[in-house]
Amino acid sequence: MAETIRHDWTRAEILGLLDQPFNDLLFQAQTVHRRHHDPNAVQASTLLSIKTGGCPEDCAYCPQSIHHDVALERERLLSVEAVRSAARRARAQGGERFCMGAAWRRPTDRQLEQVAEMVRAVKEEGLETCLTLGMLTLDQARRLAEAGLDYYNHNLDTAPEFYGRIVTTRQYADRLQTLEYVRAAGLKVCCGGILGMGENREQRAGLLQQLANLPEHPHSVPINLLVQVEGTPLYGTPPLDPLEFVRTVAVARILMPGAHVRLSAGRERMSDELQALCFLAGANSIFLGERLLTQSNPQVERDRQLFRRLGLQVGRVAG
């Protein structure tokens, strides 16, 4: 199973993996990981909010939504030079991929051209580029590819049957359609989800099933742990068992052997021991820097100390 790339996983099979004894699951995940990746290498990305707040979507986890009473100051779209400066700082800190996010439902053509200029500027600084702008048309995806974009992030968030409890302003099919356009344009897909939103294990299996059964596995799979922000509907949700988070990371590694499984939002609240278990389970990508869009992220020096203790190397990882 570990050597076979599959796109036909059943929910029952995935639940069977999640239900394994913890040690057996981690052993299987680490075995798969070593067959496809350097076990001691971690890919590093940096995420910058290029337009903050004012989003018309009602995602229950997001402080940038206009539907939630959150103390968040809206910001205009950054200038190209501000983005270039941030990219230079990211490269100096060891970042390899520069990700830019804008709080839009979907960009207008004028906004898209402004962002395309940012992509070209970041490429000139020698970094890979990734964007998350909401939904795209096929023509927009192609225009971003022509500008030199490498990756497009568009998360599925959760299982289809749980999605309506998290977002009501769009449909699951809308997400899948944008992913189809991104693939058709020749861009690499970055797609994952959020854990700890009140979903159960079967629904976590449903998210993993959707990701693993896409026509192509995502190149990067961000696994986010819900960051609870006062004023959002999910504030006060019972926290997810940390070992359940590790289990989900391990199963993502088994289902999508070649993908980079990224520890994303929520890492600031993870102990060093929890992060170490996630790396053992097959996570091999992180965000570096002090912020993830509107949320804080572990300090770079704390990350470096942890990597030294674990013997992990942050460097360019193929894929």
What is the per-residue pLDDT across 215-248, written as a single tens digit (0 to 9) for each? 999 999 999 999 999 999 999 999 999 999 999 9
- Whether the pLDDT of residue 75 is over 70: the answer is yes
Q: What are phi and psi of 125, to 5 degrees?
A: -85, 0
- Give how far Cα 285 sits from Cα of 44, 48, 140, 177, 312, Å: 6, 17, 28, 26, 11
Q: Per-residue pLDDT tens for 159-181?
A: 999 999 999 999 999 999 999 99
Residue 190 is among the residues annotated as catalytic for this protein = yes
- Whether the pLDDT of residue 62 is over 70: the answer is yes
Catalytic residue among 55, 97, 191, 204: 55
Q: What are phi and psi of 253, to 5 degrees?
A: -65, -40
Residue 262 is among the residues annotated as catalytic for this protein = yes
* pLDDT in the model for residue 105: 87
* pLDDT in the model for residue 31: 97
Q: Which helix (H) or strand (E) holds 31?
A: helix 22-36
* pLDDT in the model for residue 268: 86
Mean pLDDT score of the chain: 91
Confidence band of 94 (pLDDT split at 50, 70, 90): confident
Catalytic residue among 99, 175, 191, 204: 99
Residue 278 is among the residues annotated as catalytic for this protein = no
Catalytic residue among 170, 175, 190, 253: 190
Rounded distance between C-alpha atoms, residue 170 and residue 58, angstroms: 9
Catalytic residue among 6, 106, 130, 253: 130
- Whether the pLDDT of residue 19 is over 60: the answer is yes
Residue 191 is among the residues annotated as catalytic for this protein = no
Rounded distance between C-alpha atoms, residue 6 and residue 260, angstroms: 16
Q: Per-residue pLDDT tens for 173-220?
A: 999 999 999 999 999 999 999 999 999 999 999 999 999 999 999 999
Residue 269 is among the residues annotated as catalytic for this protein = no
Q: Per-residue pLDDT tens for 116-158?
A: 999 999 999 999 999 999 999 999 999 999 999 999 999 999 9
* pLDDT in the model for residue 4: 80
Question: Against a cut of 0.95, is the pTM above it?
Answer: no
* pLDDT in the model for residue 319: 39
Angle between helices 201-212 and 242-255 (to 10 degrees): 20
- Give how far Cα 197 sits from Cα of 19, 171, 210, 241, 276, Å: 20, 18, 17, 12, 23
Confidence band of 3 (pLDDT split at 50, 70, 90): low
Q: Lowest mean pLDDT: which of 42-56, 167-181, 280-294?
A: 280-294
Catalytic residue among 11, 34, 62, 201: 62
Work out the average pLDDT over 27-33: 98
Q: Lowest mean pLDDT: which of 89-93, 114-118, 257-261, 307-311?
A: 89-93
266-275 CB contacts, 8 Å cutoff, 24+ apart: 266/196, 266/224, 266/225, 266/226, 266/227, 267/225, 267/297, 267/298, 268/295, 268/296, 268/297, 268/298, 269/225, 269/227, 270/225, 270/242, 271/242, 272/306, 272/309, 274/242, 274/245, 274/246, 275/306
Helix (H, G, I), strand (E, B) or coil at 194: strand
Work out the average pLDDT over 41-67: 88
Catalytic residue among 143, 170, 247, 262: 262
More confident residue, 102 or 95: 102
* pLDDT in the model for residue 246: 98
Q: Lowest mean pLDDT: which of 37-46, 63-72, 197-206, 221-230?
A: 63-72
Residue 302 is among the residues annotated as catalytic for this protein = no
* pLDDT in the model for residue 299: 74
Confidence band of 68 (pLDDT split at 50, 70, 90): confident
